[in-house]
Amino acid sequence: MNDGTPDSGGELRSADLLRDYLEGPGLDLERYDAGNGRGNLVARIEGSDPSAPSLLLMGHTDVVPANPEGWRHDPFGGELVDGEIWGRGAVDMLNLTASMAVAVKHLAAASFAPRGTLIYLACADEEALGAFGADWMLRNHRDAVWADCVLTESGGFAMPLPSSSGPKLPVIVGEKGAYWSTLRVHGTPGHASMPLRTDNALVKAAEVVRRVAEYRPATTLDGVWRAFIERYDLPPELAARLGDADGVRAFCESYEDLGVARELHAVTHTTFAPTMARGGVKTNVIPDVVELQVDIRTLPGVRGPEVGAMLDEALGDLAPSVEVVADSDDPANASPFDTPLWDSLQRASRALVPNATLVPLTSTGATDARFFRALGATAYGAGLFSERISYAEYGAMFHGNDERVDLESLRLSSELWRAVATDLLA
């Protein structure tokens, strides 16, 4: 389990397990030791035509910690209960990492001899910064993992929105950026026994938190959003509502399905979430400084200066007494979706789910796809799930309690990888 420290993770154990599983004719296997027990496994089926597009199936092997107290089954037991596998990582993303391994093994066993190269990467450290995983591989062993097309977590889970035609399956084509910031609120120290008219940094910080939380940044309906609305084939009234900035805002403020409302809001807005506060030294001292952490997730085109302007707007007359320090500046990224990879994914999905149509969607969080997009690859978050687990439950399981996946979803995802690889590379 990866708690963000270099000595956690232990992903070499997963790399070894996957190597043992994949070992056999038709696959070139190589384990890459990144130190500290961290490491990655690469499996390759070389293509016959170097000019043909190549495909990387990329899954991470690390998971975030879990507190067993909130779970109905042991989060590290991997129990199969009534057709569902329980445990941390069941949807984020050991389900996909494992189903990719199954697909690659089956292709190799069937003597798959593609024109384009197929690569499987089981990588460490996605849940922190990729410093031992995808980013590390691209920096140190780029030739082993580089591909024109990349599939990773996570899509193919039908949203509970009405559609006039068949099932709509989201594919992640881009990710929002992260501009995590510290807001340092200054005051003047003094004796807390005489608080009247003091310059108390904590009191000011409380108002800063309130203003940031209530801030409503402008709505942005980008190309991914427009294509999502169009291809979803929504009832006309809803399509008109979601195709309009004021309509989207009103919809998200009032729609009863909280998961959908939050997600649709997050993909159409740069968001600001105050998450941590630290300040004060002693009960009887008026604090002179309080630090607030704000998780800021940016839309494409929104960088430091734009975030600064938004914070100024949010803080109003308090802006001059707040110092903003950027802790991370990972810009948003996106791949086009008029590509051969998209077409292969569409054909493969429809063969498994009758009448299914893919719809592009932006991810609110980051995945390892960002490292490959930054270097010019087309990267999507994909997958395929049964209808057994609801969208609300599915969303709540990421880094949450009672994470599990049903066997039919595992079958669908492994069939999907196999079909896309055959369609794109053969």
What does the alpha-carbon distance between residue 178 and residue 266 come to, in Å, rounded to a whole number? 13
Q: Of 75, 60, 77, nearest to 127 (Cα)?
A: 60
The alpha carbons of the chain give a radius of gyration, in whole angstroms, of: 23
Residue 266: φ, ψ to 5°: -65, -30
Count other C-beta atoms under 10 Å from residue 418's C-beta: 22
Could you give the 3-state DSSP secondary structure of residue 329?
coil
Compute CA distances 402 → 89, 172, 424, whole Å: 10, 24, 36
Q: How far is the CB of 341 from Zn ion (least distance, A)?
A: 20
Number of residues counted as binding Zn ion (CB under 5 A): 3
What binding mask, one character per residue, do residues 135-174 give for Zn ion by CB under 5 A, x or -?
Answer: ------------------x---------------------
Q: How far is the CB of 331 from Zn ion (least distance, A)?
A: 20
Count other C-beta atoms under 10 Å from residue 154's C-beta: 23
Residue 154: φ, ψ to 5°: -155, 130
Using omega within 30 degrees of 0 as the cis cutoff, is the peptide bond preceding 397 cis?
Answer: no
**163, 359 Cβ separation under 8 angstroms:** no
Could you give the 3-state DSSP secondary structure of residue 301?
coil
The helix-helix angle for 407-425 and 340-352 (nearest 10°) equals 140
Q: How far is the CB of 173 from Zn ion (least distance, A)?
A: 17
Q: Is position 126 annotated as part of the catalytic site?
A: yes
If you ran DSSP here, which 8-state letter would residue 345 be given? H
Asked if 175 interacts with Zn ion (CB under 5 A), we say no
Catalytic residue among 92, 125, 126, 135: 126
Catalytic residue among 11, 62, 84, 135: 62
Q: Of 177, 44, 143, 92, nearest to 375 (Cα)?
A: 143
Pick between residue 92 and residue 423 the one whose CB is nearest to Zn ion. 92
Pick between residue 134 and residue 322 the one whose CB is nearest to Zn ion. 134
Beta strands 333-334 and 118-123 are unpaired
User: Rule CB under 5 A: which of 236-295 touch Zn ion?
Assistant: none
Q: How far is the CB of 175 from Zn ion (least distance, A)?
A: 12
CA dihedral 173, 380, 129, 223 (to 10 degrees): -10
Pick between residue 97 and residue 378 the one whose CB is nearest to Zn ion. 97
Pick between residue 11 and residue 153 the one whose CB is nearest to Zn ion. 153
Pick between residue 349 and residue 367 the one whose CB is nearest to Zn ion. 367
Q: How far is the CB of 131 from Zn ion (least distance, A)?
A: 16
Compute CA distances 398 → 59, 257, 395, 411, whole Å: 15, 17, 6, 20
Could you give the 3-state DSSP secondary structure of residue 118?
strand
Q: How far is the CB of 86 from Zn ion (least distance, A)?
A: 17
Pick between residue 157 and residue 232 the one whose CB is nearest to Zn ion. 157
Q: How far is the CB of 126 from Zn ion (least distance, A)?
A: 5
Which of 11, 62, 84, 92: binder of Zn ion (CB under 5 A)? Answer: 92
What binding mask, one character per residue, do residues 366-385 give for Zn ion by CB under 5 A, x or -?
Answer: --------------------
Q: Is position 82 annotated as part of the catalytic site?
A: no
Pick between residue 85 and residue 302 the one whose CB is nearest to Zn ion. 85
Pick between residue 397 and residue 419 the one whose CB is nearest to Zn ion. 397
Token representation of residue 367: 């995945």
What does the alpha-carbon distance between residue 227 and residue 141 come to, in Å, rounded to a whole number? 36
Which of 55, 93, 183, 286: binder of Zn ion (CB under 5 A)? Answer: 93
Q: How far is the CB of 89 from Zn ion (least distance, A)?
A: 8
For Zn ion, the binding residues (CB under 5 A) are 92-93, 153
Q: Provide the annotated active-site residues.
A: 62, 126
